[in-house]
Amino acid sequence: MHGGNGLSKFENMPINDGNNQFGDNNTQNNIINNHYYHHNNNGPSPNGDDAIPLVIAAVFGVAILVWWFFGHIDQVYYILNIMTLSSAALSAFALVIIIVSGEFEIEDVLRFFGSVLFALGLFGLAVLSREHAPNDVVQLSQHTKFTEFWSGLTDYGKNIVVANFVAALAIAMSAFVAHLASLRQFSYSLANPRGVGFWFGLYQATRFFKMRVAFVIISALSGLAWAALNGKLPGI
């Protein structure tokens, strides 16, 4: 077992950076309009302002994505659960490789447990987020078209669906960061001590995703997801 700062395999080579790596729902609030099955044939009034077409297109695109998200919510969260739980896999492989190669340090174990905590925490948050999605909204999205879906929601219902979508997006981004942090550990375990080769290049390329940086990013995104699920974000 080596002592040191967790980068002993590179200790004889200069490295530039020098661093190691929901609240309860108010049942009195209506989510869906009672008349959502009625069609609105009037449509939106034409807007002749061409100054913000990209903003309009972006809002329209997000609205479609939210409708699709709820229409396929079980598939989305199935993938999200796999993403979160598997984020520690490469970290586990990295620990085994380091132990077998005789370069084991206590910091390697700490990084592995950090990745496991990321995985379990994000998985739990994903489960809470799925439970937060109202079943009547899910049913509405699966039995109506895009315009009918949004016209069938009350203002409170719109805030609920946007909040759940934001939470899912934040969890997905957190899982992506956790995967990159785990990949950095894996590339470190295979990197050539002389600082050459593919794995060392990958280790250097992922220098931003050190565990402490990943912790800050994942904590912030998880806080955003928690705030969304607890109705702490501004309404639309």
The pLDDT value recorded for residue 102 is: 86
* Residue 234 in domain: yes
The pLDDT value recorded for residue 18 is: 42
* Residue 39 in domain: no
What token pair was written down for 8?
A: 């002993």
What is the residue type of 183? L
Query: How far, in Å, are 32, 33, 130, 151, 208 from residue 38 at the CA level?
Result: 12, 10, 28, 9, 52
The pLDDT value recorded for residue 36 is: 53
Question: How many whole angstroms separate alpha carbon 6 and alpha carbon 185?
Answer: 11
CA 95 to chain centre: 24
The pLDDT value recorded for residue 49 is: 56
How many domains, in total, are found in the chain? 1
DSSP string, 158-225: HHHHHHHHHHHHHHHHHHHHHHHHHHHHHHHHHS-TTS-SHHHHHHHHTGGG-HHHHHHHHHHHHHHH
pTM beyond 0.85: the answer is no
Residue 153: domain span: 73-236
Helix, strand, or coil here: 126? helix
The pLDDT value recorded for residue 25 is: 44
* Residue 19 in domain: no
Question: How many whole angstroms separate alpha carbon 124 and alpha carbon 214?
Answer: 18
The pLDDT value recorded for residue 28 is: 47
* Residue 97 in domain: yes
* Residue 213 in domain: yes
* Residue 25 in domain: no
- Low pLDDT (below 70) residues in the chain: 1-30, 33-51, 236
* Residue 62 in domain: no
The pLDDT value recorded for residue 3 is: 45
The pLDDT value recorded for residue 22 is: 35
The pLDDT value recorded for residue 7 is: 56
Query: How far, in Å, are 17, 129, 156, 166, 175 from residue 230 at the CA level?
Result: 39, 10, 13, 12, 21
* Residue 49 in domain: no
